Chains A and B, each alone.
Chain A
């Protein structure tokens, strides 16, 4: 079955933030307490109860004016997801339609996903002293899309800045849109076409990624690979070798100890 994806077009986004509300409405998430901190961007950060938000950036547009840059901030649903690689309970896993699914019941609260995500997306809620907590992030509206509905944020978007469909089609649509935009925005870029094996939430950007606050060429952290793909197998090998070595030593040593005891017994018998 073809991978599904979401395409976010930053040039069409009006930052109405209906997506923030629709997501909370569908999943029954609490509101985060907010306070005005100088921009319309609120809440200030993702949280265990805020899975999507819009970032507001103002940049000088070189003509003496200001461009107001809106950027969606949420799980990018990577093809090669660091969070899936490090999750010890498989609470985070790849769904056959390509996105990163999450089973909260399996979450152990370890927080590895929080620290290894290249986009800093998952958030924890709980007690940091006892360590009892659960993580949360965008779930790609799995219960909606498996029932022929669009994700909640996509459905509510009034300008179709958010659209949902087969990933291949959205890549084509995104590329074409970037071409159109290049006349006015020479740095326009389709983010997520190839990054991390391809993201299932792609962004049409008017500026280069770093202006939008996105990492350029994001990677799964090297430590995640060193940990999961190198040290862990090496660890098994090392311990296995030790156990085998000790086992071998036991067999040899016992045989020699018995031999010695036999010899001693024979000597004693002779006396």
Chain B
């Protein structure tokens, strides 16, 4: 079965470093969010890990963007382009994801509309996490209390939104039956490739562009 390269090695390395940092942030953050887990935050070590992971979480994309300025800029631009194609995806979504009717879904780009939405939310909410996090970390006692009070609240709201999307991301990446067909999607983040069949059925528009060259 012919395979197609979807993600380069740098892209995959970045993905795993960033998501590793993200998981650490989620887990250590949950210790302070869920009262029943509060005892795990005693003695502050989870908060040290949260800070170290936060630094990685910020540095990794910065390095990635600086090292691949052109492709990064193209990708970020594409995430802000929304149009008729995305409406088509939305219309086909229930049939596709619930009834596994692949014929109902129009051909998608390298990132389908759902993936674009995930990327879009990350681009909006990550800076919100980072800014409120920086306020809480470095300006805790030097700004009026109200700033900190709002930072905690906003940080929490951002977490709920992103964590919900994160669960969807995992689910659609490795659990949904359609994403395990044709050799599956997970390999795209392991060795960077997917089968030609997978590329044709899930990212048809992109597959055409890539095989033309």
A134 CB → nearest B CB, Å: 8
Q: How many A-B residue pairs have CB under 8 A?
A: 129
| Bound complex: CA A120 to CA B41 (Å) | 23
Contact between B145 and A120, CB atoms less than 8 A apart: yes
Contact between A223 and B176, CB atoms less than 8 A apart: no
Contact between A115 and B149, CB atoms less than 8 A apart: yes
- Interface window among B78-86, B155-163, B189-197: B155-163
Give residues in B with beta carbon < 8 Å to A.
31-33, 35, 38-39, 41-48, 50-51, 97-101, 137-138, 140-141, 145-146, 148-150, 152-153, 156-157, 159-160, 163-164, 167-168, 171, 175-178, 181
Q: Which of A103-124 contact B (CB under 8 A)?
A: 105-112, 114-116, 120, 124
What would be 6 A-B contacts, judged by CB atoms less than 8 Å apart? A108-B38, A108-B41, A221-B149, A223-B153, A235-B159, A257-B178
Contact between B160 and A238, CB atoms less than 8 A apart: yes
| Bound complex: CA A88 to CA B28 (Å) | 12
- Interface window among A18-26, A28-36, A197-205, A245-253: A245-253
A86 CB → nearest B CB, Å: 8
Contact between B44 and A239, CB atoms less than 8 A apart: no
Mask, A120-164, CB within 8 Å of B = 1, is 100010101011110000000000000000000000000000000
Q: Determine the chain A residues whose CB is within 8 A of the CB of B140 once the complex forms.
A: 111, 114-115, 128
Q: Which of A184-202 contact B (CB under 8 A)?
A: none
Q: Helix, strand, loop or mixed for chain A's interface?
A: helix
- Interface size of A by CB at 8 A reads 46
Contact between A88 and B178, CB atoms less than 8 A apart: no
Contact between A231 and B41, CB atoms less than 8 A apart: no
Which residue of B98, B101, B171, B177 has the most chain A CB atoms within 10 A of its CB atom? B177
Q: Determine the chain A residues whose CB is within 8 A of the CB of B41 once the complex forms.
A: 88-89, 108, 110
Contact between A90 and B38, CB atoms less than 8 A apart: yes
Contact between A253 and B145, CB atoms less than 8 A apart: no
Contact between A253 and B100, CB atoms less than 8 A apart: yes
Which residue of B45, B137, B160 has the most chain A CB atoms within 10 A of its CB atom? B160
Contact between B164 and A106, CB atoms less than 8 A apart: no
A207 CB → nearest B CB, Å: 25
